[in-house]
Every structure is written in structure tokens, then in C-alpha cells.
Amino acid sequence: MAQTQKKLDSSRMGEMPEGKLLITLAVPMMLSMLVQALYNIVDSVYVARVSEDCLSALSLAFPAQNIMIGLGTGTGVGVSTLVSRALGSKNNKLASQTAGTAIALGVCCWALMALFGVFGADWFIRSQTSVESIRAYTDSYLRIVTIGSLFVYQEINAERLLQSTGLTTLSMWTQMAGAVTNIILDPFFIYGWCGLPAMGTAGAAIATVIGQAVGTALGFFFHFKKNKELPIRLSDIRLPWHIVRDIYRIGFPSILMVAIGSVTNYLMNIILGAFTSTAVAVYGAYFKIQSFFFMPVFGLNNGIIPIIGYNYGARKKERIYRTIRFGVLFACFFMVLGFVCFQVIPQVFLGAFSPSETMLAIGVPALRRISISFLLAGFCIVAGSACQALDKSMFSFFVSVLRQVVALIPAAWLLSLTGNVDNVWWCFPIAELVSLAASIFFLRKALRDMEKKLASPAA
């Protein structure tokens, strides 16, 4: 860790051996993602000790919260790809303009989600459950995180700008600061420690917003102090159409993928809720637990995208191929580890959520069946990120549509007709098989198109 405060010069994106470069960029982000995963679990563990209804409430809020975060991360994919590509092409002015545009877009995303929190949250919650106690818990949580979402967008912006120039260690500290703040504050607001009122799910939401504000402040402190290669002037904080268009040409498919995922979670909540609210709680617990294995892979992808983007701009296709190979290897390692853990100790994972006997009876077979899909997911995730970095974001979108709209939800609904909730979980391995076939097809096409473009003298 002797290099934690050293800046990785962007030229090394095109020179350092790919495996070493990927580890250098990805490990700090993977560590920060693991902390984020810990926060996700701790947040739910705290509210689960209040009641199982509180855990179910967080599960019902998740689709909307996921869209909120997806707007930021999708915009971030476009921003980091454009910034890395501009730096690779030595166009520092465009890189700075893109960074300023990202800040302005963050304000627009916040306004959109705040309007949803004020006017749409009640309908969204009532469409998923008729249990009044769960509705109340969900409403108090969802309104606070959406109205206070300005900080989540600007924290993501700060992280992406640091990552784009190789300052991944500082990006890690930014995310860790927000997550650790959240973890520390949770029990004070949820249980009413030190004389504070016990606010349950509302307290969890308040701690989340404060943590995001801390991450935002630290992230931009690091950016303006250390990221001299990417200065942002007040005149850059605007919405020039050509930059907004290019950001969302790359990032919008990611937003759509998250939106599709949120719709999928929404429909799964309805399908599972038809059996029992405990099944919804299990589904929510699964999403928290699986993040321990998926978050490092997403952190890995945050290293893959700027490497591919830089070398695409620098016309170094062999480095792109080797980066993809290393990425698949590392991703599959984490996914196999997750599969083994879910098969061997599912009851240990569920035990963190103060489960009832009914929750364990539903949850143990659920985790074992869902985790079969992990064996295929690593390749699919890396393939999607590679397509995004190669300017083929729509390919990732098509794969997501096939996986969730064509395969997952129809399979879940058909399996629910058996009348046995245990059968519903088989929809995940079925959907991942569809995703694997589509990912192989689209990645091969993206790489062929890349070779044609780089072979052109006008590229």
C-alpha cells in the first residue's frame, strides 16, 4: 500500500502489463465495493432486528432505490468512458468539459428522483403490498432517500472522475468514508441511541443520506486537491448537448439495464408476495448477501472500462483483448467462490437477519438454487462492460433484456404456477443460461467491429 497516495499517470494505461494494471486499478475499487456490500448488509441487519416487516420494507423500496442509483452509475459509465478516451487521445479540454457536465447532470437526476419521492412513492408502495405496517416502513424510508439523493449523484461523479485518471485509491477512500459513516450512524438513528428518537427504517434512510454527503465532500476534496490532470472550472458546469448526447449514448443502455432490473425486482416482489411476505424478505436478504461477491466484480469492471476505453482511443487492440481475458479470469474466481459459500453455508448468511424458522425454510434452498447462476455470471458481467467500453452499450442492453424480460420473469411466473415457492428460484439459473449465449454472441460482434474500425486509416 506504499502507493496509496501516488497518482497513476494516465500514460501507463497504455503501457503497464494488463494483468498488473487491472489489479492496480481494480483492487482499491474492489475493496471499496466490499465495504459498500458490508454497508448494504449491515443496513438490513439493523432493520431486521426491529422486525421482519422492516426487512420486507427495504426489499419493496429496493427497485426504486436501484433506479435512483442506476441513473448515477449509468451516467458515470458514460462520463468515465468519455474522459478516459479523451485523455487517451490527448484531448484534455474535452475531458474537463465532460467532468463539468457530469456535475450538472447530477443535479438534474436529483430533481427527477425528488419529484418521484414526493408524488410517486405512495403509489409505488401500494402496488406491491396491502400490509399497512410494511407500507408505512417503506414510505418513510423511500421518501427520505429520494429527496436526499443529490449527494449520491455527486458522490458517484467524484468517484468516477478519480477513477478516470487512475486515482482509484482515492476513489476507494471516498466510497469507504460514506459507507463507514452510514454503518456507524445506523444504530443511533434506527434504535435511538444516545437520546435520539428510535426511527426504524426512517433512521436507516437518514444515515444513508448523511453517509452519501460525507462521501461527496471527501470525493471532491480529493479531486480538486489531487486530480490536476482533470481541472473543472465553473464554466464547465453546464449541459452542452454534444457532450450530454455522447455521455448517454454510452451510459443510457446501462441506465436502461438498471431500470429493467428494477422492474424485474418489482415484479418478483409481487410474484413472491403472492406466497408470503417472508419470501419477499428472503429475496431482499439474498440481494444484500450476493453483493459480497458481485460488488468486487463490479469494482473489477470499473477498472476494466477505463483501460479498454484508453487503449481503444490509443488504437492498441491487443491490450484490449488481454484486459478482457484477465477480467473474465478474475470475475469467474469471485463467482465460483460465491457459489461454494452459498452451497455450503447458506444458513450462516441468513442468520445475520434474525430469521424466523419460516424464513430459514424458504431461504436455504433459495440461496442454493440461485447461486448456480453465479457459475455463468462472471463472464456475462465482464462481456457487458467490454461492450460498453467499445462503444457498443446497446449490446449490453440487449443481453439484459433477454435475461430479465424474456427469461427471468416469465420463468418465475410459470414456476410460481406450481404452487411451490421453492421452484420459483430456478428462474435465476435459467435466465443466466440465456444471458451467457447472448453475451458470447454480442462480445464477438463488438470485437469484430472494433477490429474493422481500428483497421480503417480514418479511425
3-state secondary structure 327-379: HHHHHHHHHHHHHHHHHHCHHHHHHCCCCCHHHHHHHHHHHHHHHHHHHHHHH
The predicted pLDDT at position 311 comes to 81
> Helices 409-416 and 241-273, interaxial angle, to 10°?
10
Residue 37, all three cell numbers: 456490500
Burial of 104 (0-12, 13-18, 19+ CB in 10 A): middle
**Cβ 230 vs Cβ 165: under 8 Å:** yes
Delimit the domains of the chain by residue range. 16-452
H-assigned helices in 188-240 = 201-226
**Which amino acid does the sequence have at 164?**
S
The predicted pLDDT at position 3 comes to 41
Q: What DSSP element (H or E) covers 446?
A: helix 427-455
The predicted pLDDT at position 12 comes to 64
The predicted pLDDT at position 14 comes to 64
Q: Report the predicted TM-score, pTM, of the whole model to 2 decimal places.
A: 0.77
Which DSSP category does 456 fall into? S
Long-range CB pairs of 253-256 (<8 Å, 24+ gap) are 253/74, 253/388, 253/393, 253/394, 253/396, 253/397, 254/70, 254/73, 254/74, 254/77, 254/78, 254/388, 254/393, 254/396, 254/397, 255/70, 255/71, 255/74, 255/75, 256/74, 256/397, 256/400
The predicted pLDDT at position 166 comes to 74
The predicted pLDDT at position 379 comes to 94
Rounded CA separation 29/230 (Å): 20
CB atoms within 10 A of CB 441: 14
**Cβ 353 vs Cβ 43: under 8 Å:** no
Rounded CA separation 4/180 (Å): 19
Sign (positive or negative) of CA dihedral 205, 210, 215, 220: positive
Tell me the Ramachandran region of residue 192: left when phi exceeds 0, alpha when psi lies from -120 to 50, beta otherwise.
Answer: left
Sign (positive or negative) of CA dihedral 431, 335, 393, 327: negative
Rounded CA separation 84/456 (Å): 22
178-191 burial string, b = 16+ CB within 10 Å, else e? Answer: bbbbbbebbbbbbb
pLDDT tens track of the chain, all 459 residues? 334 334 444 556 666 766 777 777 777 777 767 776 777 788 788 988 888 888 889 889 988 988 898 899 889 888 888 887 887 777 878 888 888 999 999 999 999 999 999 999 999 999 988 888 889 999 999 999 999 999 999 999 998 888 877 787 888 888 889 888 998 999 999 999 988 899 999 999 999 999 999 999 999 999 888 888 788 888 888 998 989 998 988 888 778 878 888 889 999 999 999 999 899 999 989 988 898 888 888 878 778 887 888 787 777 888 888 888 988 998 999 999 999 999 999 999 999 888 989 999 999 999 999 999 999 999 999 998 888 888 787 888 888 889 988 999 999 999 999 999 999 999 999 999 999 999 999 999 989 988 888 777 655
Q: What DSSP element (H or E) covers 125?
A: helix 121-126
Rounded CA separation 459/457 (Å): 6
